[in-house]
Amino acid sequence: MARKQPAKGPFNLDLSLERNKGALIAILYDIQEHYRYLPEDVLKELAQKIGKPLIEIYRVATFYKLFSLKQRGRHQLKVCTGTACHVRGSERLVEEISKSLCVCRGETSADGEYSLDTVNCLGACALGPLVEVDGEYHGNTTPQSLKTILEKLKSGENKE
């Protein structure tokens, strides 16, 4: 695979264009990875560089769930609401997180710390309900075990 983006500093759009041979979704994926969302000025620059109207890029960016036009939280929480997790009570976990971290489903908390999303299926149905915190999966989550996970997160033990 071609060169990776530098870990820090501004996003190198040219590098991403070259690496992905102009494939729009892959480029947006890179931008999202870097900023945790798609900033407007970067999309404008992208539109200019690939010679497409901005609205077309917005159309793609808003269609795919992977992308966000709003800044996402420093910590990303995802609750799997696939069928197997649903019948084992994932809905209640969403509510608990929502209350505990003051963040609505699909949104970011006011302090910019936490984002809460629901995902359709993480593919580990045997261990449902599943909660993902900053990329780490927690299986067989109960409201009790969730409490421990959230307390750890709040006290900063979960820092990347």
Partner 1 sequence: METKEAVRSVEALARLAGFHRQARQKVKTRILVCAGTGCIVSGSLRVMKEFERLLADRGAAAQLAGVAEVGKGVGVAQSGCHGFCQKGPLVRIDPYGIFYTGVRPEDVAEIVDTTINGGKTVERLLYRDRDGLACCNQEEIPFYNSQTRIVLKNAGLIDPEDIGDYLAAGGYTALAKVLTEMSPAEVTEAVTRANLRGRGGAGFPTGLKWKEAFHQKAWPKYIVCNADEGDPGAFMDRSLLESDPHAVLEGMIIAGYAVGARHGLIYVRAEYPLAMKRIAIAIEQARETGLLGEDIMGSGFDFDAEIFVGGGVFICGESTALISSLEGQVGEPRQKPPHLAERGYLGKPTVINNVETLANVPVIINIGAPAYAAIGSAKSGGTKIFCLTGKVNNTGLVEVPIGVPLAEIVRGIGGGVPDGRALKAVQTGGPSGGCLPAEMLDLPTDFEELSQAGSMMGSGGMIVMDDTTCMVDVARYFINFLRDESCGKCFSCREGILRMKEIVDDITAGRAGDETLELLKETAEMVKNASMCGLGQSAGNPVLSTIRYFEDEYLAHIQDKKCPAGVCRSLISFTIDADLCTGCTACAVKCPTKAISGEKKQAHTIDAALCDRCGICLDTCRFDAVRKG
Chain residues binding partner 1 by CB under 8 A are: 1, 22-26, 29, 59-60, 63-67, 81-88, 92, 95, 99, 119-128, 130, 137-139, 143
**Least Å from the CB of residue 89 to partner 1:** 9
Would you say 2 or 9 has its CB closer to partner 1?
2
Comparing CB distances to partner 1, the nearer of 9 and 67 is 67
Task: Tell me the β-bridge partners of 117.
Answer: 78
Q: Are 85 and 129 in contact (CB under 8 A)?
A: yes
Let me know: does 125 contact 82? Beta carbons within 8 Å. Answer: yes
Task: List the one residue out of 28, 8, 156, 113 whose CA is nearest residue 16.
Answer: 28
What minimum distance in Å lies between the beta carbon of 76 and partner 1? Answer: 13
Smallest distance from partner 1 to CB 128, Å: 7
Which residue number, 9 or 141, has a Cβ lying nearer to partner 1? Answer: 141
C-beta of residue 13 within 8 angstroms of C-beta of residue 42: yes
Alpha-carbon distance of 52 to 67, in angstroms, equals 19
Distance CA 132, CA 121 (A): 11
Q: Let me know how long the chain is.
A: 160
Pick the closer one to partner 1 by CB: 9 or 55: 55
> Least CB distance from residue 95 to partner 1, whole Å?
8
